[in-house]
Chain A
């Protein structure tokens, strides 16, 4: 399981146990050494005491090999044995000392006798030819050392479960701000997109929280844009429907056939207009949710322009407008926009140009190649757009004062949306000659 708590718990335990083992190892080593030194000192001390007794002549000549320990004593008694040799003869003996000599020279040495390894201290008596060996079996030393080490380490072993529990509690406590944040987020409703209060958020999860806040801000903006769009759309549909209903009622109440015909014609116009508005709104809402990835496709700008110009030639002819297309010779450069939105973009620009150009006027579409980008220009001989309106014409449903041509006010906002989605640029300019409008769109060349 991918859990911060488990990871912390395991890594803390691993670190803790490793350190504990290392410390235990070193301290056992150190205490082994010190216990050895201590016991050597004890051997030497015992040897000196025995020598004094020997000098006083109070040592029994020979002691029984089966010398029993007195019941009164201590568990840590170090089982020291000794031998006293005079001129190569064993004079006196104590403990588990064997019959052979325990050592060969004065001072400390290790001796293997039978199966037992001895630690021995030899001390010459003042009498020449008299030597005292004090020895201790290594098994006894080892037993003592183990006993001591175990007693020292046992509490630490016992504390292991307690340590696990304490680490668990500490990790849980440490993760509390995360849990608090989780419950804060969990208790939010879908509409509650205000930022999380950063006041009580610890430094470690601040970046995460502020990223979340950023996301919520973006969501909030997107949602309110959607909400506004829906409100605007339903608002904008009311007037066409009011017109449709009015003309229908006029036709229903009319006693005059000419008036009825007229009302029915207007009724159909109203329905056409409402359906145009609805299809424009649908295009716009699809552009709202378009996902850019996976849609990457490019197409020929000149080809798309030619197709749209052909489609619009009928309505241009009906208004007696000359529609012309110029494309760069010999080059068919691609732009990074899928064919469908590109056709909508050019189509909307061309629709506007034809709509606002008076009968007998002209509309010219040009595709021009530049080194890094491609230009699409749509030039008309209409009245143009005053500079003050040039930003606002891209707003949804915006229709400048005095505009008498029918329309939903969505065409240019769709264009703007496509431009934004595909990183193109648009500029509204004055025509070089005449009053018309020059729309210039600049596209990135497809790589």
Chain B
């Protein structure tokens, strides 16, 4: 899962990035509203963590513009402004959640998980596709009730695929998933990870759609 951090503070930004990476999220950090807008326009992110007190253009105005342009990604406001009026303004501008600084890193990641769950139409932390079960809270995958060991990259791929089970997920989306700008996958590395996943889940579980991407199948034929 890919997260965009919009935070002007040069100490908090990297801290958030590392903290989220510890939980297996690929996070990218920008310091201004302009850079955030640009990043969101050209790349796919699953969640944005937005500070309001940005230098120059304010976080709230960025959020309003994003919503006005029809961007639906879940946005969590992370800010020092903690009055009820601030929260109301933030949520009314189109935020999905609001967390006041200073905050607990575990709470932040839990809220991010809740946001992505709801964003993909699930209400529980468990994603299912047939006999496949992904517990996003404890970050573990099981097949027919038996736990499977996954590397962080494999986990990120399964998470993206299972959220859109039985639909084609484009390669570009999978490439962006779980990888921040610093560790973008080599194109053929995606095939390697898929190959490892097939070995663990069964060949028929993940189908290749030539020139488009991959599909995770709920009930493989064999």
* Mask: chain A, 345-362; 1 = CB below 8 Å from B; 0 = not: 000000000000000000
* Mask: chain A, 221-244; 1 = CB below 8 Å from B; 0 = not: 000000000000001101111111
**Distance in Å: Cβ of A378 to nearest Cβ of chain B:** 24
Task: Find chain B residues with CB under 8 A from A269 CB.
Answer: 11
Which of A236, A241, A249, A402 is within 8 Å of B32, CB to CB? Answer: A402
How far apart sit A246 and B31, CA to CA, in the bound complex (Å)? 17
CB–CB A243/B32 < 8 A: no
**Distance in Å: Cβ of B87 to nearest Cβ of chain A:** 14
Within 8 A of A (CB), among B133-184: none
How far apart sit A253 and B109, CA to CA, in the bound complex (Å)? 13
Q: List the B residue with the shortest CB-CB distance to A254.
A: B22
CB–CB B55/A403 < 8 A: yes
**Among the listed stretches B69-77, B99-107, B110-118, which one makes contact with chain A, having 4 or more residues with CB under 8 Å of it?**
B99-107
The interface size bin for chain A is: 20 to 34
CB–CB A270/B11 < 8 A: yes
| Known pairs A235-B80, A239-B101; A250 contacts B12 (CB<8 A) | no
The interface size bin for chain B is: 20 to 34
B125 within 8 A of A: no
**Distance in Å: Cβ of B53 to nearest Cβ of chain A:** 8
Q: List the A residue with the shortest CB-CB distance to B105.
A: A249
Which of A240, A242, A399, A400 is within 8 Å of B103, CB to CB? Answer: A242
Task: Find chain B residues with CB under 8 A from A404 CB.
Answer: 10, 31
Within 8 A of B (CB), among A134-191: none
A313 within 8 A of B: no
CB–CB A401/B101 < 8 A: no
CB–CB A402/B55 < 8 A: yes
* Mask: chain B, 27-40; 1 = CB below 8 Å from A; 0 = not: 00001100000000
CB–CB A400/B55 < 8 A: yes
A415 within 8 A of B: no
Task: Find chain B residues with CB under 8 A from A245 CB.
Answer: 102-105
CB–CB A246/B19 < 8 A: yes
B121 within 8 A of A: no
**Distance in Å: Cβ of A273 to nearest Cβ of chain B:** 7
CB–CB A239/B103 < 8 A: no
B16 within 8 A of A: yes
* Mask: chain B, 83-107; 1 = CB below 8 Å from A; 0 = not: 0000000000000000011111110
CB–CB A263/B18 < 8 A: yes
Within 8 A of B (CB), among A259-282: 259, 262-263, 266, 269-270, 273
Task: Find chain A residues with CB under 8 A from B12 CB.
Answer: 239, 242-243, 246
**Distance in Å: Cβ of A78 to nearest Cβ of chain B:** 101
Which of B18, B32, B104, B106 has the most A CB atoms < 10 Å from its CB?
B18
How far apart sit A381 and B145, CA to CA, in the bound complex (Å)? 67
A406 within 8 A of B: yes
CB–CB A250/B55 < 8 A: no
How far apart sit A8 and B77, CA to CA, in the bound complex (Å)? 69
Task: Find chain B residues with CB under 8 A from A244 CB.
Answer: 102
B14 within 8 A of A: yes
CB–CB B80/A406 < 8 A: no
A445 within 8 A of B: no
CB–CB A241/B102 < 8 A: yes
Q: List the A residue with the shortest CB-CB distance to B22.
A: A253
**Distance in Å: Cβ of B183 to nearest Cβ of chain A:** 15
A247 within 8 A of B: yes
Which of A242, A247, A273 has the most B CB atoms < 10 Å from its CB?
A242
Q: List the A residue with the shortest CB-CB distance to B51.
A: A239
CB–CB A246/B55 < 8 A: no
CB–CB B56/A401 < 8 A: yes
How far apart sit A402 and B19, CA to CA, in the bound complex (Å)? 25
Q: List the B residue with the shortest CB-CB distance to A270.
A: B11
**Distance in Å: Cβ of A241 to nearest Cβ of chain B:** 4
Task: Find chain B residues with CB under 8 A from A241 CB.
Answer: 101-102
CB–CB B9/A250 < 8 A: no
B202 within 8 A of A: no
CB–CB B19/A249 < 8 A: yes
**Distance in Å: Cβ of A56 to nearest Cβ of chain B:** 121
CB–CB B80/A249 < 8 A: no
B44 within 8 A of A: no
Which of A245, A269, A404 has the most B CB atoms < 10 Å from its CB?
A245
B64 within 8 A of A: no
| Known pairs A249-B19, A254-B22, A403-B55; A266 contacts B102 (CB<8 A) | no
B128 within 8 A of A: no
Which of A239, A254, A259, A273 is within 8 Å of B80, CB to CB? Answer: A239
CB–CB A250/B22 < 8 A: yes
Task: Find chain B residues with CB under 8 A from A246 CB.
Answer: 12, 15-16, 19, 102, 105
How far apart sit A270 and B16, CA to CA, in the bound complex (Å)? 13
* Mask: chain B, 191-219; 1 = CB below 8 Å from A; 0 = not: 00000000000000000000000000000
Which of A263, A269, A400, A403 has the most B CB atoms < 10 Å from its CB?
A263
Within 8 A of B (CB), among A370-411: 399-404, 406
Task: Find chain A residues with CB under 8 A from B11 CB.
Answer: 240, 243, 247, 266, 269-270, 273, 406
CB–CB A250/B102 < 8 A: no
CB–CB A238/B14 < 8 A: no
Which of A238, A239, A401, A402 has the most B CB atoms < 10 Å from its CB?
A239
**Distance in Å: Cβ of B115 to nearest Cβ of chain A:** 19
CB–CB A401/B102 < 8 A: no
| Known pairs A238-B80, A242-B101, A247-B15; A401 contacts B10 (CB<8 A) | no
Given contacts A239-B53, A242-B80, 18 further A-B contacts (CB under 8 A): A239-B9, A239-B12, A242-B12, A242-B101, A242-B103, A245-B103, A245-B104, A245-B105, A246-B12, A246-B105, A250-B105, A253-B19, A253-B22, A259-B22, A399-B55, A401-B32, A401-B55, A402-B56
> Would you list 7 pairs from A and B whose C-beta atoms are within 8 A, ordered by A residue?
A239-B101, A241-B102, A242-B9, A246-B16, A246-B102, A266-B15, A406-B10
By Cβ-Cβ distance, the 8 closest A-B pairs, closest first, are A401-B56, A238-B80, A246-B15, A242-B101, A243-B12, A242-B102, A243-B11, A249-B105
